[in-house]
Amino acid sequence: MDSLSQTASDSSLAETAAASPADLQPALDPPFTHHELPTAATANGKPSFLSRALSCVSSWYWPANAHQAHAAEQALLSLIPPSPLYRTRSGFIDVAADSGPNANHQHALINTLIIEPTTPPANPQPPIVFLHGYGAGLALWYRTLPEIAAQLIPHGSTLYAIDWLGMARSGRVPFPIGSSLPPTSPETSTASHDPKRPHGVAEAEDYFLSSLDRWRARITAAASGSPDADGKVILVGHSLGGYLAANYALRHPDKVAQLILVSPVGVPARPAENPSVARPLPAHWAAIRSAAHKLWAGGYTPFSVMRGVGPLGPSLMGWYTSRRFAATITDEKEQGLVRDYLFHANNAGMAAGEYALGALLDFGAWARDPLAPRLKGLWSGLEKVKTRFVYGTVDWMNWEHAGRVLVGEKVGQDAASVHLVEGAGHQVFLDNPSGFADVVVDCVKNAREPTVSRVEVEQMVQVLAASSTGSEESVRRNVR
């Protein structure tokens, strides 16, 4: 695909991704600094029989590597149709820090996809940056980016999607903290102003957010043509990416033109347990839950488990994708591309950013330092950040969590609002890509009324307050 002009020069990868001959020796245009991640130098001469044998055994036991991850990404991105309105390119941007434990680290590179106007816009708009969630990557936006680009490129927008540092195909810079973390302390879980934040949270956030800030500075400078430019961006963050995007906006409100949080994790605090209404689990489920809790506390991640099953890993990922996307990705070939991408992109390198799961979230996906009491900083400071919450109508992440914040902080609809995408679950942009695109486009253009009115949000909060034992699903039915 000639729109993917900033790819690796390896010919086998180019063939796998159906790249054109022009892709084999691409020019390195700004803002990119690298075509591919650096690899260890190979020894001179032919490999020994023993090294070849060990390589074969290793490839059989663990069928994932950087070459396959690149090919899987390019195969999925090849589904983005060409357009006279825009060109698409991808590459790596150096975000190494000048100081600190990972200063000038050779793998501090962020994998970046750019969809930009073929003709320089007369009135450039702030770059729109798509930030994936846990266990995903930039290529998973493939279903919705074309529709967003078709509507926003003519208005001067440029779209970017990245892999977080330490995740997918970005550089696997060592994670700054140990993988084993203590459970959340009630005394510190919601006190963002308290210097005694839960152990590891600040370090984990900084791993992602400092590199994101250096990346933002590079791409806005390149877009303006001035090395001193330091422009704003629009952040679209999904799930864990939403949590991190919100924290970035709290740190750098002067660098965020708008914040679109797509089914963000980490908004509410863990609710207090009420033993009198809790139903005991059957013995076998209680044992499974206890084992899962211990694995989580011990720093194990879903990908630790996948690596542990060796050659069964692809089948395990295939089992997940065939069930999760059976209703939304009905084409078997496309579903296979998603399966291959999720497997190879997440498992090809050493474990790094995946440890964020235990560092930022407690067991059950409750934030160790929830966003709810901190989000008011987006709307109360000198630099206010317009915020849009986007959820699917069948999303397991409930929009009510955002609603409680908006009502509790008495936030006006211009400052923050809730929008729902019909028929979509947690993977909103995959489940209903057109509906999601429409919401994002309208939010960027400030042309969309909230799906959930402020009156409905207030009713929901009242019902929740009056229904201490009712489920949130029953609350939904009462509100709607």
Q: What is the DSSP string of 340-383?
A: HHHHHHHHSS-S-GGGHHHHHEETTTEESS-STTTTTHHHHSSS
Residue-range domain boundaries for the chain: 11-37+55-271+282-479
Positions in the chain whose pLDDT score sits under 50: 1-25, 40-45, 51, 54-55, 57-58, 60, 179-194, 468-480
Q: What is the pLDDT of residue 295?
A: 72
Dihedral angle computed from the Cα positions of residues 312, 316, 317 and 321, in that order, rounded to the nearest 10 degrees: 150
Q: What is the pLDDT of residue 264?
A: 98
The model's pLDDT over 221-249, given as tens digits with 9 standing for 90+, comes to: 999 887 777 899 999 999 999 999 999 99
Q: Is 120 exposed, middle or buried (0-12, 13-18, 19+ CB in 10 A)?
A: exposed
Picking from 55, 372, 15, the residue whose alpha carbon sits closest to that of residue 189 is: 372
Q: What is the pLDDT of residue 374?
A: 95
Amino acid symbol at 404: R
Please give the DSSP secondary-structure letter assigned to residue 126: P
What separation, in Å, do the N-terminal and C-terminal C-alpha atoms of the chain show?
A: 46
CATH fold of 11-37+55-271+282-479, please?
Answer: Rossmann fold (3.40.50)
Q: What is the pLDDT of residue 429?
A: 98
Q: Does the pTM exceed 0.85? A: no
Picking from 402, 406, 408, the residue whose alpha carbon sits closest to that of residue 420 is: 402
Q: What is the pLDDT of residue 184?
A: 41
Task: Measure the CA–CA gap between 77 and 337, rounded to whole angstroms.
Answer: 10
Q: What is the pLDDT of residue 256?
A: 98
The model's pLDDT over 318-343, given as tens digits with 9 standing for 90+, comes to: 888 889 898 899 999 999 999 999 99
Picking from 345, 277, 320, 279, the residue whose alpha carbon sits closest to that of residue 139 is: 345
Name, in order, each residue with C-beta under 8 angstroms of 172's C-beta and a sequence gap of 6 or more: 107, 166, 349, 350, 351, 352, 353
Q: Which two tokens stand for residue 85?
A: 């309105």
Contacts 24+ apart (CB under 8 A), 430-438: 430/140, 430/143, 430/144, 430/325, 430/328, 430/329, 431/328, 431/392, 432/328, 432/392, 433/143, 433/144, 433/147, 434/144, 434/147, 436/144, 436/262, 436/390, 437/144, 437/147, 437/148, 437/151, 438/147
